[in-house]
Amino acid sequence: MATNKRRRHGGQAVKVVITGPFAAGKTTLIRTISEITVLSTERGITDSTRARKNETTVAMDFGRITIDGDLVLYLFGTPGQERFDFMWEILGEGMLGYVVLVDVTRQDSLAEARGILDAFRRMARVPFVVGLNRTAGAEESHEAKVREHLALPANVPVVPCDATDKESVKAVLLALLYSVLDEIEAEPATV
């Protein structure tokens, strides 16, 4: 029924990927903002990473948020562990843009983010933003450090966020949508 309503009003559903290192907060971010119950493929952790958390995403997380009557975002969360990297390309196919979520409290999160970002840049030339999760009490220099480590151009937004706070998550997604609009407006018109 929602499909008919979107079709009647000329609405569009678009795919956004939430990616980033293990334990960066991707599943939490999607659960915080999704208007539907999130489809999640989390499984118990049996290796040494169990010290950080009990479960990990092994295939994907899926959620949805309606921006307005004209735009619905389908949110696809990737696994963060490199052993599940085959899912990155599968989930990235057809995406409008992506968010790279980084846990600023962990140095290894930034190092892992570099490899993930490189993979996504090779996969698709679409807009992206970097979300800095767990920034409460973080230093202002974190953004510059992340920007330098990930070799981000000045036009790529770096947005502090708290993956457990709905308004904070909205700010990250809006930054991505504004980046998409900026790219569309910058493209030469085709006649």
Cβ pair 126, 96 in contact under 8 A: yes
Which long-range contacts does 79-86 make (Cβ < 8 Å, 24+ apart)?
80/19, 80/20, 80/21, 80/22, 80/23, 80/24, 80/26, 80/56, 80/112, 80/116, 81/22, 81/49, 81/56, 82/112, 82/115, 84/57, 84/58, 84/59, 85/119
pLDDT in tens, 40-52: 765 455 555 544 5
> Does the pLDDT of residue 3 top 70, yes or no?
no
User: Model-level pTM?
Assistant: 0.82
For the ranges 31-35, 169-173, 181-185, the lowest mean pLDDT is seen at: 181-185
pLDDT score at 165? 96
87 has pLDDT over 80: no
At 109-157, the pLDDT tens digits run 888 999 999 999 999 999 999 999 987 766 677 888 899 999 999 999 9
Q: Could you state, in order of their start, the residue ranges of all structural domains in the chain?
A: 2-186
pLDDT at 75 over 60: yes
| Choices 3.40.50.300, 3.20.20.80, 3.40.50.1370, 1.10.3660.10: CATH for 2-186 | 3.40.50.300
